[in-house]
């Protein structure tokens, strides 16, 4: 767009002091004639841009005039480039935006901003795993969020219509660890939604949207298709994506911790247990024998028992009896299935 070029030309003159039409054309990847017309347009618009003929001439801002288009402090500029820098190699739009912003910064800020942009590399792929690509639907949904356009979704939800979420909304599909549930239990539906925002959590993307029944949360990997319509919508005046997502997370974590159990474990194994149960692991006391009393939680007694079964005698379940019974049953099954064979193979 021409407006982008005009801003870029102004920032380039501000950064270099003086540019020729040829230099501007090379920088903006346009013809020399187009670059010259852009410079003349700036001058016509009243910006103090004037040409100087002859050797060493070019176009410059009269009297070293400056236009501060950023308004950033030095620390704000560094923070922005630290945050956006890792995304620049993979996103041409980000790289172009950072380049333009860098030209708008005062000279004293630029060196640190450039250093910040290249100070961090984010590699989200685990060792031995193939490179993960962002789902194609994310870009489509992002565009709909920005343009405020309703989207018609083909969605594979769970049978039963989903479970209730915070603020009167529901969670369309289970969250956590990328689990999608059994394919056989899903039903495919079509619905028209207002896309309010997107969230990436633990490599899983979610869409927060408004529907006829209030706010809903959709897993992007369960969206079979999305058609952006020309129907406009307005987000609620008090909507804040971060706050809404915190409510969704709080509700989902509450559902994941409806059953709790008290266990005793050696203090040296506590970090491993905490890693297994995450936020659903709480130290509630210490025993005279040096063990730690811990409360763990999960959706069902069986879930807790399954996570503790591999610990053997290192962990003792104090209560409830439902978890102790499930753990005893799993132990009996393991003994029966893995009973040592005699030499005859019987």
For the chain (length 346 residues), average pLDDT per consecutive 10? 69 76 85 86 74 76 55 69 68 73 70 78 77 84 92 78 39 43 63 93 90 92 93 90 91 90 94 91 92 94 93 93 94 89 63
Q: Are 215 and 167 in contact (CB under 8 A)?
A: yes
Q: How high is the pLDDT of residue 164? A: 35
pLDDT tens digits for 283-306? 999 999 989 999 999 999 999 999
Task: Tell me the Ramachandran region of residue 240: left when phi exceeds 0, alpha when psi lies from -120 to 50, beta otherwise.
Answer: beta
The rounded distance, in Å, linking the Cα atoms of 115 and 105 is 14
Q: Encoding tokens for residue 150?
A: 């309703």
Q: How high is the pLDDT of residue 71? A: 57
Q: How high is the pLDDT of residue 141? A: 94
Q: DSSP H helical segments within 52-91, as ranges?
A: 74-84
Q: Encoding tokens for residue 263?
A: 């266990």
> Token pair 């400056």 is at which residue?
66
The rounded distance, in Å, linking the Cα atoms of 122 and 83 is 10
Q: How high is the pLDDT of residue 220? A: 93
Q: How high is the pLDDT of residue 106? A: 66
Give the DSSP letter of residue 287.
Answer: -
Q: How high is the pLDDT of residue 309? A: 92
Q: How high is the pLDDT of residue 99? A: 76
The rounded distance, in Å, linking the Cα atoms of 346 and 336 is 13
Strand 170-172 versus strand 214-219 pairing type = parallel
Helix and strand totals (H; E) in the chain: 11, 14
pLDDT tens digits for 332-345? 999 988 888 776 65
Length of the chain: 346
CA trace torsion 185, 191, 196, 198 (10° rounding): 40
> Token pair 């343009």 is at which residue?
147
Task: Evaluate if pTM is beyond 0.75.
Answer: no
């Amino acid at each position: 767009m021409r407006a982008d070029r005009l801003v870029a030309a102004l920032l380039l003159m501000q950064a270099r002091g003086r540019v020729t039409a040829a230099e501007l054309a090379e920088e903006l990847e346009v013809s020399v004639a187009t670059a010259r017309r852009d410079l003349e347009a700036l001058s016509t618009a009243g910006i103090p841009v004037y040409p100087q003929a002859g050797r060493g001439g070019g176009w410059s801002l009269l009297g070293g005039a400056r236009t501060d288009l950023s308004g950033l402090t030095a620390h704000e500029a560094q923070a922005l480039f630290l945050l956006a820098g890792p995304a620049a190699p993979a996103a041409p739009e980000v790289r172009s935006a950072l380049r333009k912003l860098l030209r708008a910064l005062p000279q004293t800020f630029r060196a640190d901003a450039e250093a910040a942009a290249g100070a961090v590399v984010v590699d989200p792929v685990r060792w031995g795993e193939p490179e993960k690509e962002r789902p194609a639907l994310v870009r489509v949904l992002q565009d709909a969020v920005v343009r405020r356009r309703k989207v018609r979704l083909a969605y594979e939800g769970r049978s039963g219509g989903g479970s209730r979420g915070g603020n009167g909304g529901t969670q369309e599909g289970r969250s956590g660890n990328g689990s999608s549930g059994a394919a056989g239990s899903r039903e495919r539906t079509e619905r028209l939604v207002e896309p309010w925002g997107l969230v990436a959590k633990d490599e899983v993307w979610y869409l927060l949207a408004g529907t006829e029944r209030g706010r809903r949360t959709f897993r992007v990997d369960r969206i079979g298709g999305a058609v952006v319509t020309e129907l406009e919508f307005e987000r609620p005046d008090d909507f804040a994506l971060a706050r809404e997502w915190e409510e969704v997370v709080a509700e989902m974590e509450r559902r994941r911790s409806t059953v709790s159990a008290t266990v005793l474990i050696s203090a040296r194994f506590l970090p491993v247990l905490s890693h297994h149960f995450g936020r659903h692991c709480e130290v509630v006391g210490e025993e005279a024998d040096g063990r730690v009393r811990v409360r763990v939680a999960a959706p069902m007694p069986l879930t807790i028992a399954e996570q503790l079964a591999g610990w053997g005698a290192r962990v003792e379940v104090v209560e409830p009896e439902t978890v102790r019974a499930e753990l005893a049953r799993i132990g009996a099954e393991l003994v029966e299935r893995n009973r040592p064979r005699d030499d005859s193979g019987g």
